[in-house]
């Protein structure tokens, strides 16, 4: 099944942007009268019939609409330091989107080696992974933000809504609960993952003061992107 992203829609029709229209009409050679499947990136799925087969602006008439198509039924937000090798961070975005994630916030930490990202490229990866995994909701990619600022931003959000907050790190050897033990299913969850050099002791203390609980992702020392994927998959399995 090929999925297209709608640039706009109303009660009757769906419009594809130029890039999606070109792929639909020129690459896949679809034409007026053909049936297509479209998502709006916000949870809606459409089965529609092409009525204008213009490669610059394809328009389709809505035949069927489904809400929450492909949703995973839980709310997961991972705040993670982008890796020095950006391809590893892109891999994380792709795989977590396929498994199921709602929000990603790239964070700058004291030991961060990568301090610049290209949101447009990352958004394309998220869209591609959403289509690949047959979902209708594209994960929200928030702007890159320094950890202290992120903690301030989250204070009001987590006070207003019941959100479980965890930080995964390997700065000491003391016993910590595994994520699968600490997490209560069917609740919103926010997980912090640090850079290659991990969080500093100062950062860990700040997150604890902000209400985050320390958790473990297992006995192995994981790469940043692997830790993010393990956290995502653990939450996914817990909610099955």
Q: For the beta carbon of residue 53, count every other beta carbon within 10 angstroms.
A: 19
- Tokens read off for 116: 């610049």
Least Cα distance to 141 among 115, 158, 123 occurs for 123
Residue 206 makes CB contacts below 8 A (sequence gap 6+) with 147, 148, 151
Range(s) within the chain of domains with CATH label 3.40.1280.10: 76-238
Which tops the pLDDT comparison, 138 or 68?
138
Return the half-sphere exposure (C-beta side, CA atoms, 13 A cut-off) of residue 158. 20
Where does 3-67 sit in CATH, by number? 2.40.240.20
Q: What is the mean pLDDT of the chain?
A: 94
Pair type for strands 44-54 and 35-39? antiparallel
Q: What is the pLDDT of residue 173?
A: 65
Produce one character per residue of 195-223: b if its CB has 16 or more CB atoms within 10 Å, e if not.
bbebbbeebbebbeebebebbbbeeeebe
Q: What is the pLDDT of residues 93-122, one digit of tens each?
A: 999 999 999 999 999 999 999 999 999 999
Where does 76-238 sit in CATH, by number? 3.40.1280.10
Range(s) within the chain of domains with CATH label 2.40.240.20: 3-67
Q: What is the pLDDT of residue 159?
A: 59
Q: What is the pLDDT of residues 203-224, one digit of tens each?
A: 999 999 999 999 999 888 899 9
The confidence band for 234, taking pLDDT boundaries of 50, 70 and 90, is very high
The confidence band for 18, taking pLDDT boundaries of 50, 70 and 90, is very high
Q: What is the pLDDT of residue 200?
A: 95
Q: What is the pLDDT of residue 171?
A: 81
Q: How many helices (H) and strands (E) in the chain?
A: 7, 12
The sign one gets for the Cα dihedral 105, 236, 224, 169 is positive
- Tokens read off for 124: 């394309």
> Is the pLDDT score of 62 beyond 60?
yes
The confidence band for 187, taking pLDDT boundaries of 50, 70 and 90, is confident
Q: What is the pLDDT of residues 139-175, one digit of tens each?
A: 999 999 999 999 998 886 655 568 999 999 988 767 8
For residues 182, 183, 189 and 195, what is the CA-based torsion angle, rounded to 10 degrees? 50
Residue entry with tokens 């709602």: 102
Across-strand partners of 167? 192, 214
């Amino acid at each position: 099944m090929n999925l297209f992203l709608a640039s706009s829609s109303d009660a009757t029709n769906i419009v594809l942007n130029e890039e999606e229209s070109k792929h639909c009409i020129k690459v896949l050679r679809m034409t007026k009268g053909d049936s297509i499947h479209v998502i709006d990136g916000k949870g809606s799925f459409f089965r529609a019939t092409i009525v204008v087969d213009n490669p610059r602006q394809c328009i389709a008439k809505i035949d069927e609409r489904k809400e929450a198509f492909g949703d995973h039924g839980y709310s997961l937000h991972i705040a993670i330091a982008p890796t020095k090798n950006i391809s590893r961070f892109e891999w994380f975005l792709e795989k977590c989107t396929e498994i199921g994630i709602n929000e990603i916030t790239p964070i700058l930490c004291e030991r961060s080696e990568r301090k610049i990202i290209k949101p447009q490229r990352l958004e394309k990866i998220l869209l591609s992974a959403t289509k690949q995994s047959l979902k209708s909701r594209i994960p929200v990619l928030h702007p890159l933000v320094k950890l202290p600022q992120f903690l301030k931003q989250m204070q009001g959000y987590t006070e207003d809504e019941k959100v479980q907050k965890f930080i995964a790190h390997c700065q000491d050897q003391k016993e910590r609960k595994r994520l699968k033990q600490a997490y209560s299913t069917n609740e919103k969850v926010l997980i912090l993952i640090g850079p290659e050099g991990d969080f500093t002791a100062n950062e860990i203390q700040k997150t604890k003061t902000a209400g985050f609980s320390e958790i473990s992702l297992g006995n192995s020392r994981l790469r940043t992107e692997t830790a993010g994927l393990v956290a995502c998959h653990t939450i996914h399995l817990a909610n099955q």
